[in-house]
Amino acid sequence: MTLDVTQIQRILPHRVPFLLVDRVTEVKVGEYVEAYKNISISEPVFQGHFPDHPIYPGVMIIEGMAQAGAVLAFYTGDMSEEATKNKVVYFMSIDSAKFRKPIRPGDRLDYKVGVIKRKGAVWVLDGKAFVDGDLACEAQLKAMVVDKEK
């Protein structure tokens, strides 16, 4: 199953410039999601990080993995598009984050996020990000699917 950016926006509440998943290339319900983000010099973050040496921030890589994980959670929860409008995924923790190589404009950041365990609304995910097949970042993410506050 693939999802383009329009379909992703029906699931996630994020919008440009903070929507960090361009396409979902595979979802294995309850197991893993694969997605990617094309990193462009036109990203607003490069105005300040860093103007003469553009490096995509690690926190943005982690957030991209989390957004991919949220797509997996919504699909695994078998929620309709209407139901996802009333839910949001909150970060609970980020553990064992490691940044292996810098991400630069022109790179394609491939996310691979798998389920370590799930208990009710709480998810523990193994997130990895690759560039050209090389591991660039990894982290264990914990998140919870909750009702949006009114």
58-61, long-range: CB < 8 A, 24+ apart: 58/97, 58/99, 58/137, 60/20, 61/99, 61/103, 61/109, 61/129, 61/136, 61/137
Active-site position among 14, 23, 28, 49: 49
Q: How far apart are the C-alpha atoms of 58 and 64, rounded to whole Å? A: 10
Active site residue 49: yes
Q: How many residues does the chain have?
A: 150
Distance between alpha carbon 15 and the CA centroid of its chain, in Å? 13
Nearest to 64 by CA among 83, 91, 95, 26: 91
What does residue 53 show for φ and ψ, rounded to 5 degrees?
Answer: -155, 75
Give the residue numbers marked as catalytic: 49
